[in-house]
């Protein structure tokens, strides 16, 4: 497909990539920069640099590449659809499901299930997936159904106007809520893991929901969305997420814990982390929308067991003190 347009006078003095991004609203500025860098854009018949300033009146011709869908196949995988319309699909992803096919996970992913749910998604990059959750993190995730919706959602996540809130069980007793403002980047000795203290800025706001005997239930709101951000941040603070296979510690067993709680803590094999709230501006109507999801059964059992243990501990302590 070719796009032909003329730079309007009101864009005078702007960088070419910025001017084009304001004129071609169904493609991101990053995508347009890629076209410029690969020579797909001509400005008055010549190939320009992305940083060139425009004067207004120039003729632009763009050779838009076809979007490659990738070698993905539709698979009959159950998808828990929380909401859907002509623009978006909001799903509740279970723990254990990979979002996108990759090395070691070519099948059985959310993307494969989405293609079975809506075959038209194969026309979009990553089948409309614009953000991810870790394999063993459960919860809400939004998928675009059109290219216009995809670009709109990408811009919202980039501008940090899309809201995401998580609930987690962490090791240790947090005294109060707060903010963790520590950069997160790739661990140089293992590219699949992340580390705190270097990389890109990362900010997590949290508040205490319930303190148990040796654990804390917290709600976390993301200001940024770095890979493994919550898990890395709480590990860095000394309160790793329960069950985290990459950043966690040995299970912390409360003194006098019941056998059932010991079993739950020692066998909880995924991070106790759930994306419970998603909030964004609907890409078509502009209306602010939000969706919520209750914690899954495994986390519910963990929280109830910790609550029962903490209640018994406080009762026994009061009895020992004589009141």
DSSP 123: G
Nearby residues of 39 by Cβ (< 8 Å), 6 or more positions away: 47
Is 134 among the catalytic positions? yes
Written as one string, the DSSP assignment of 244-278 is -TTT--S--PPTT--HHHHHHHHH--S--EEEEEE
Asked if 216 and 167 count as a contact pair (C-beta separation under 8 A), the reply is no
Candidate list 134, 246, 298, 309, residue with the active-site label? 134
CA atoms within 13 A on the CB side of 63: 8
H/E stretch holding 151 reads helix 147-159
Closest alpha carbon to 109 in 93, 86, 124: 93
- Distance set, CA 61 to CA 21, 143, 290 (Å): 14, 31, 40
Identify the burial level of 40 via C-beta atoms within 10 angstroms of its C-beta, where 0-12 means exposed, 13-18 middle and 19 or more buried: middle
Asked if 151 and 28 count as a contact pair (C-beta separation under 8 A), the reply is yes
What are the tokens at 145? 């159904």
C-alpha–C-alpha distance, residues 131 and 163, integer Å:
12
Closest alpha carbon to 217 in 320, 306, 291, 97: 306
Identify the burial level of 322 via C-beta atoms within 10 angstroms of its C-beta, where 0-12 means exposed, 13-18 middle and 19 or more buried: exposed
Q: List active site positions.
A: 134
């Amino acid at each position: 497909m070719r796009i032909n347009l003329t730079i309007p006078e009101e864009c005078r003095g702007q960088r070419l990539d910025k001017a084009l991004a304001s004129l071609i609203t169904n493609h991101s500025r990053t995508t347009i920069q890629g076209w410029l860098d690969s020579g797909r854009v001509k400005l008055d018949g010549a190939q320009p640099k992305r940083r060139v300033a425009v004067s207004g009146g120039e003729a632009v011709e763009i050779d838009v590449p076809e979007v490659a869908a990738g070698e993905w196949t539709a698979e009959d995988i159950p998808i828990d659809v929380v909401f859907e319309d002509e623009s978006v699909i909001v799903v509740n992803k279970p723990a254990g499901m990979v979002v996108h096919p990759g090395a070691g996970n070519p099948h059985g992913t959310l993307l494969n299930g989405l293609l079975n749910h809506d075959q038209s998604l194969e026309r979009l990059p990553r089948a409309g997936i614009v953000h991810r959750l870790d394999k063993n993190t459960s919860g809400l995730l939004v998928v675009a159904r059109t290219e216009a919706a995809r670009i709109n959602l990408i811009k919202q996540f980039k501008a940090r106007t899309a809201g995401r809130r998580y609930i987690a069980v962490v090791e240790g007793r947090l005294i109060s809520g707060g903010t963790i403002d520590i950069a997160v980047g790739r661990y140089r000795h293992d590219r699949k893991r992340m580390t705190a203290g270097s990389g890109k800025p990362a900010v997590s706001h949290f508040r205490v929901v319930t303190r148990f005997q040796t654990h804390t239930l917290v709600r976390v709101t993301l200001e940024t969305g770095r890979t493994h951000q919550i898990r890395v941040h709480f590990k860095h603070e000394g309160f790793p997420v329960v069950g985290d296979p990459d950043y966690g510690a040995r299970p912390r067993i409360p003194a006098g814990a019941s056998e059932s709680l010991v079993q739950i803590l020692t066998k909880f094999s995924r991070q106790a982390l759930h994306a419970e709230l998603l909030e964004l501006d609907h890409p078509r109507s502009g209306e602010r929308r939000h969706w919520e999801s209750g914690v899954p059964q495994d986390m519910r059992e963990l929280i109830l067991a910790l609550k029962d243990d903490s209640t018994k501990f406080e009762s026994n302590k009061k009895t020992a003190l004589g009141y």
